[in-house]
């Protein structure tokens, strides 16, 4: 299979610095009564720096998004759960073969952060009920530190009850490799960095990349690029990207000729950038109502940037 890198057929994925996708946020939905039985959405895609009304792909496709932040009725953002139900209702009319959520599937917060263990459990029950309701779509996910999990015990529970924290799956000739790790933020002025992944994760990834081609990497925490650093700067001085001193960068640099694209989440801003020539995409559900689709067209991968707005 030929997977084009520089020749990506990218519908609307020009540099999103000019647009930032900030014009459509959650506020429009907060002002609506989102009865799933009555409300509806329309989809728009980005083409030549402009948003156009469009339809989901008619050929088989994979849908990539992140940062759903499903909330229980007692959580801080129950409207996000309602919005995702509405999104799934519309998407299911022309469903993808796979939906991959690149972390922060649940929110795990009430009035205080983090929420209780019981609230965390309730929110994962919501996610599992959504997966069951749309059984014709295969759901996969990685996990975001701070929301999906807070400690090793939580991560081990997710491994058993929801799905593995890392793994590989093949879709139409492409190999998707994902890892879940944290903490997901650092101070650039910190004198030392001790690694966000453990030795087992580093070794696992090196082994997988040595034996695979046509790889798409999926991490919740984005790599450090000009745009991720710009959009991921917090007011306290932290950056919510992977510390550039982390050994993961060396692994990716060594194997970058095998890597076709990288997807991430964590930053609630949709953008496209590059890491050493490899296209990097951020397609967060929150706050941009954003997602990406992948198709295989004439032997090459095609990534399209979408957003959804209420009718």
Residue 52 is part of a domain; what is its CATH number? 3.60.21.10
pLDDT of residue 16: 34
Q: Is residue 175 part of a domain?
A: yes
DSSP letter string, 206-238: HHHHHH--SEEEEESSPP--HHHHHHTB-TTS-
Q: Is residue 137 part of a domain?
A: yes
CA nearest neighbour of 139 among 110, 117, 163: 163
pLDDT of residue 11: 37
CA distance 205 to 183: 18
Q: Is residue 4 part of a domain?
A: no
Look at residue 81 and tell me whether its pLDDT is greater than 80: yes
Look at residue 18 and tell me whether its pLDDT is greater than 50: no
Q: Is residue 1 part of a domain?
A: no
Query: pLDDT digits over 130-178, tens only?
Result: 999 999 999 999 999 999 999 999 999 999 999 999 999 999 999 999 9
Report the chain's terminal Cα–Cα distance, integer Å: 39
pLDDT of residue 24: 34
- What mean pLDDT do residues 181-189 have? 91
Structural domain count, the chain: 1
Contacts made by residues 85-92, CB under 8 angstroms, sequence distance 24+:
85/36, 85/130, 86/34, 86/36, 86/39, 86/40, 86/41, 87/41, 87/285, 87/308, 88/130, 88/133, 88/134, 89/36, 90/40, 90/41, 90/43, 90/308, 91/56, 91/63, 92/134, 92/136, 92/137
Q: Is residue 138 part of a domain?
A: yes
Q: Is residue 2 part of a domain?
A: no
Residue ranges making up the domain that contains 198: 9-310
Cis peptide before 34 (omega within 30 of 0): no
């Amino acid at each position: 299979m030929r997977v084009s890198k520089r020749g990506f057929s990218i519908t609307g994925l020009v540099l999103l610095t000019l647009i930032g996708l900030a014009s459509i946020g959650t506020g429009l939905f907060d002002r609506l009564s989102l009865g799933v039985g009555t409300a509806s959405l329309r989809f728009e895609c980005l083409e030549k720096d402009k948003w156009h009304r469009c339809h989901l792909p008619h050929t088989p496709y994979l849908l990539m998004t992140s940062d759903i932040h499903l909330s229980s009725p007692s959580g801080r953002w129950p409207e996000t759960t309602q919005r995702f139900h509405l999104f799934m209702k519309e998407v299911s009319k022309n469903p993808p073969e796979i939906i991959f959520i690149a972390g922060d599937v649940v929110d795990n917060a009430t009035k205080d952060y983090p929420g209780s263990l019981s609230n965390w459990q309730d929110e994962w029950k919501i996610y599992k009920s959504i997966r069951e309701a749309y059984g014709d779509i295969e759901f996969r996910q990685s996990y975001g530190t701070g929301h999906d999990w807070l400690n090793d015990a939580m991560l081990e529970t997710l491994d058993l009850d929801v799905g593995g924290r890392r793994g590989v799956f093949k879709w139409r000739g492409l190999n998707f490799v994902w890892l879940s790790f944290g903490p997901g933020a650092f101070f650039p002025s910190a004198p030392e960095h001790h690694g966000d992944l453990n030795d087992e994760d580093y070794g696992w990834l090196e082994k997988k990349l040595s034996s695979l081609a046509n790889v798409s990497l999926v991490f919740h925490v984005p790599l450090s690029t000009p745009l991720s650093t710009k959009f991921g700067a917090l007011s306290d001085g932290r950056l919510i990207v992977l510390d550039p001193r982390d050994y993961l960068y060396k692994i990716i640099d060594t194997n970058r000729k095998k890597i076709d694209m990288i997807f991430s989440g964590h930053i609630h801003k949709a953008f496209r950038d590059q890491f050493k020539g490899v296209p990097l995409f951020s397609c967060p559900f929150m706050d941009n109502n954003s997602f990406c689709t992948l198709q295989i067209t004439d032997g090459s991968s095609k990534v399209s940037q979408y957003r959804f707005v209420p009718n």
